[in-house]
Amino acid sequence: MSYDVIIIGGGATGLGVAVEAATRGYSTILFEANDFGSGTSSKSTKLVHGGIRYLENFDFALVKEGLNERATFLNSAPHIAKVQGYLVPFYGLWDKLKYFLGIKLYDFLASGKKLGSSVFLNKKQALKLAPELNPQSLRGGAVYYDGQFDDTRMLITLLRTFLQHGGQAFNYHEITGLIKNDALKVIGVRVHDKLNNNFFDIQGKVIINATGVMTDSILDLDQPETPHKNVTAARGSHIVLDKKFFDSPHALVIPKTIDDRILFVLPWHDKIVVGTTDIMVDQPCLEPDASDLEIDFILDTLNKYTRSPVKKTDILSVFSGLRPLVKPAHKTNSAKISRKHEILYSISGIISIVGGKWTIYRLMGEDTINFAISKSLLPPSKSISQNLHLFGYTKDKIAYPLNVYGSDVTVLKEIQKEMSNQDKLHPELPYYAAEVIYQVRFEMAKTVEDVLARRTRALFLNARYAMEAAITVARLMAKEMGKNEYWVEQQVEQFHAYAAKYVVVSENK
Ligand SMILES: Cc1cc2nc3c(=O)[nH]c(=O)nc-3n(C[C@H](O)[C@H](O)[C@H](O)COP(=O)(O)OP(=O)(O)OC[C@H]3O[C@@H](n4cnc5c(N)ncnc54)[C@H](O)[C@@H]3O)c2cc1C
């Protein structure tokens, strides 16, 4: 079997390319070694943004590109992404001047795609918006507007859009080798179906490497004699807390950390997410651990800006991901490395798409396919992704938490009607039994982790409750998938082992 496009990697970048290729009419197949979004794409800060921070680096073109894509992103999936107000507190006159100029420039660069007019506040107004803000030395603040989303729900929405347009996608299928012709051009891939332990080959006109921090490992398969170093990885960690610690409809932007960064405190699924850090790592991996130092740094920084002290024992979940960054020519602090994306073209014909950020996944997809066309690897076809409505698109207000299914919520409700089990997965989590069945039937959930980490966000919202819900999820899945009690036991055990790293302070400490 031969395809126009083979994509390696099912994160934001791979699925962005997949939707772009399928909607342009190319026969496209995508392979993901683990679950869709199990790499970096489930562990973002969840901002749809131009990147106000990059203004400091005078990277105006990058910010403008992000602001353009922000508008496209929000228009394509209003059921997943929304406009969010961000409050920046001021503690001195210099702060006030700096952020006034920064926010006005951010609004200016968005021009016609502004999400709302920024406003400047005195101390009293800032405290009214965010009563938990530490009032000591506070001079006032400003509110600007950016987007916010649920990263893996967006990813599943892209997956469904891709399938809807005739694409084929497989999770738990790892690329373990490349097939070359006599001219040493890559014409296909060797695939390992990890769940059934089968190997098979697939041929394609274009092979696209969208493996994030693992980009170089695919290039090493291509040319094993020369280890590649195109991508550098920077770890970012977040903690999740009860919203009582910062109960505001606005996100808080902590404008200056001791390592000269921004820290966000974001309302998300009725909790708050606080992060992130930025630490260069030597060896990329898909499941990095947050260090104690990072957790202490996030807590110490947060505690300077809020009234009620937050302790380690208050942390509901911690998650950590690696940014795939284009390796700079000169050594520099990872926060200063540009977030631009780049396309690499190997002598053997593999196209690698690296860097960038979630917000611009669509543009990265468009650029990659345009590049393949420019090299005459594909016949020309016009992009339609800019105005594409993604799967489930609706502007109707659907009550939380079912809003993420968009217009397809009707299918979920049908399943719910037929089920005798109308219960939640856990009394303290916002998810229902029917969602598990829907996720197995329509969203390619294969394991308990797929359901609790990426179809629902239970693991990110409260790691302990997610562990408690694992047995219920495993039983529901086993019934739907025809699995036995041994599978249930194994799934629960595997999920508990995996989820332990999302728990900061264990019960017996
Ligand atoms: C802490 C942090 C916060 C961030 N916050 C934001 C934010 O708020 N907003 C924003 O716009 N961006 C943000 N980003 C950036 C954004 O998350 C990333 O740019 C994006 O998720 C990268 O997606 P990706 O598909 O390139 O990589 P990944 O999501 O890692 O996907 C690569 C996939 O390739 C698969 N793979 C690897 N090897 C193989 C193989 N041999 N065969 C098959 N599959 C393979 C992996 O399993 C993985 O799933 C953040 C990043 C980090 C780390």
Q: Which amino acid makes up residue 295?
A: I
Position 337 pLDDT exceeds 80 = no
State how many domains the chain has: 3
pLDDT at 331: 66
* Contact criterion met (CB below 8 Å) for 344 and 326: no
- For residue 143, which of 268, 248, 258 has the smallest C-alpha distance? 248
Rounded mean pLDDT, 460-487: 98
pLDDT at 349: 95
CATH code assigned at 213:
3.50.50.60
Q: Is the CB of 152 under 6 A from ligand 1?
A: no
CA–CA distance, 70 with 80 (Å, rounded to integer): 13
Q: How many separate helices (H) and strands (E) can be counted in the chain? A: 14, 18
- For residue 359, which of 105, 8, 44, 60 has the smallest C-alpha distance? 44
Q: Is 98 exposed, middle or buried (0-12, 13-18, 19+ CB in 10 A)?
A: middle
The protein residue whose alpha carbon is closest to atom 4 in ligand 1 is 44
Q: Is the CB of 95 under 6 A from ligand 1?
A: no
Residues 241 and 314 in one domain: yes
* Contact criterion met (CB below 8 Å) for 368 and 374: no
Position 402 pLDDT exceeds 80 = yes
Has residue 74 been placed in a domain? no
Residues 182 and 257 in one domain: no
The protein residue whose alpha carbon is closest to atom 48 in ligand 1 is 39
Q: How many CB atoms lie within 10 A of CB 114?
A: 16
Ligand 1 pocket mutation pick from 7, 34, 40, 46 by most atoms within 8 angstroms of CB: 40
Grade residue 509 by pLDDT with cuts at 50, 70 and 90.
very low
Has residue 392 been placed in a domain? no
CA–CA distance, 4 with 26 (Å, rounded to integer): 6
pLDDT digits (tens, 9 = 90+) for 153-205: 999 999 999 999 999 999 999 999 999 999 999 999 999 999 999 999 999 99
CA–CA distance, 170 with 33 (Å, rounded to integer): 9
In three-state form (DSSP H/G/I as H, E/B as E, the rest C), the secondary structure along 32-92 is CCCCCCCCHHHCCCCEECCCHHHHHHCCHHHHHHHHHHHHHHHHHCCCCEEEEEEEEEECC
Residues 205 and 343 in one domain: yes
pLDDT at 329: 66
Q: Is the CB of 33 under 6 A from ligand 1?
A: yes
Q: Is the CB of 70 under 6 A from ligand 1?
A: no
Least confident of 312-326, 332-346, 427-441, 487-501: 332-346
Query: What residues pair up with 39 in beta bridges, in sequence order?
Result: none
Has residue 47 been placed in a domain? no
Q: Is the CB of 276 under 6 A from ligand 1?
A: yes
Position 508 pLDDT exceeds 60 = no
Residues 141 and 241 in one domain: yes
At 6 the three-state DSSP class reads: strand
The backbone torsions φ and ψ at residue 391, rounded to the nearest 5 degrees and listed phi first, read -50, 135
Grade residue 506 by pLDDT with cuts at 50, 70 and 90.
low
Look at residues 271, 287, 322 and tell me which one is the last residue of a structural domain: 322
Q: Is the peptide bond before 276 cis (omega within 30 degrees of 0)?
A: yes
In three-state form (DSSP H/G/I as H, E/B as E, the rest C), the secondary structure along 337-351 is CCCCEEEEECCCCCE
Position 390 pLDDT exceeds 60 = yes
**Cβ neighbours of residue 374 closer than 8 Å, sequence gap 6 or more:** none
Position 325 pLDDT exceeds 60 = yes
Grade residue 282 by pLDDT with cuts at 50, 70 and 90.
confident
Give the highest mean pLDDT range of 90-104, 211-225, 324-338. Answer: 211-225
Residues 191 and 177 in one domain: yes
Residues 458 and 356 in one domain: no
Q: Is the CB of 356 under 6 A from ligand 1?
A: yes
Has residue 55 been placed in a domain? no
CA-CA-CA-CA dihedral for 40, 44, 50, 55, to nearest 10: -90
Residues 255 and 140 in one domain: yes
Report the phi/psi class of residue 9: left, alpha or beta, with left for phi > 0 and alpha for psi in -120 to 50.
Answer: left
Ligand 1 pocket mutation pick from 357, 364, 367, 460 by most atoms within 8 angstroms of CB: 357
70, two tokens: 């922000």
CA–CA distance, 418 with 413 (Å, rounded to integer): 9
Grade residue 475 by pLDDT with cuts at 50, 70 and 90.
very high
> Nearest 5 degrees, angle CA 234-CA 235-CA 238?
145
Has residue 508 been placed in a domain? no
Residues of the chain with pLDDT > 70, as a percent, come to 97
Helix intervals (H) in 273-321: 292-305
pLDDT at 56: 82
pLDDT at 335: 63
Residues 254 and 285 in one domain: yes
Least confident of 89-93, 372-376, 437-441, 461-465: 89-93
Look at residues 298, 322, 346 and tell me which one is the last residue of a structural domain: 322
Rounded mean pLDDT, 437-464: 98
The protein residue whose alpha carbon is closest to atom 3 in ligand 1 is 44
pLDDT at 487: 98
Residues 485 and 435 in one domain: yes
Q: How many CB atoms lie within 10 A of CB 197?
A: 7
Rounded mean pLDDT, 241-250: 95
Report the phi/psi class of residue 257: left, alpha or beta, with left for phi > 0 and alpha for psi in -120 to 50.
Answer: beta
Has residue 327 been placed in a domain? no
CA quadruple 117, 123, 128, 134: dihedral positive or negative? Answer: positive
The protein residue whose alpha carbon is closest to atom 27 in ligand 1 is 212
Q: Is the CB of 175 under 6 A from ligand 1?
A: yes
Residues 134 and 188 in one domain: no
Has residue 117 been placed in a domain? yes
Query: What residues pair up with 121 in beta bridges, in sequence order?
Result: 141
Look at residues 322, 349, 370 and tell me which one is the last residue of a structural domain: 322
Distances (CA, A) of 286 to 162, 283, 294, 323, 478: 24, 10, 18, 11, 27
232, two tokens: 């550098």
Helix intervals (H) in 171-314: 215-222, 292-305
CA–CA distance, 275 with 281 (Å, rounded to integer): 18
Domain housing 431: 402-502
Residues 213 and 343 in one domain: yes
Grade residue 259 by pLDDT with cuts at 50, 70 and 90.
confident
Residues 138 and 158 in one domain: no
Q: Which amino acid makes up residue 243?
A: K
Has residue 128 been placed in a domain? yes
CATH code assigned at 297:
3.30.9.10
* Contact criterion met (CB below 8 Å) for 230 and 345: no
CA-CA-CA-CA dihedral for 262, 266, 271, 274, to nearest 10: -10
Position 507 pLDDT exceeds 60 = no
Grade residue 330 by pLDDT with cuts at 50, 70 and 90.
low
User: Given 3-state DSSP classes, what are the helix, strand and coil percentages for the chain, each rounded to the nearest 5?
Assistant: 40, 25, 35
- The helix (H) or strand (E) run that includes residue 364 is helix 361-374
**Cβ neighbours of residue 308 closer than 8 Å, sequence gap 6 or more:** 132, 244, 245
pLDDT digits (tens, 9 = 90+) for 88-131: 999 888 888 888 899 999 999 998 899 998 999 999 999 999 99
CA of 44 to the centre of ligand 1 (A): 8
Residue linked to tokens 């053997």:
348
pTM recorded for the entire structure: 0.97
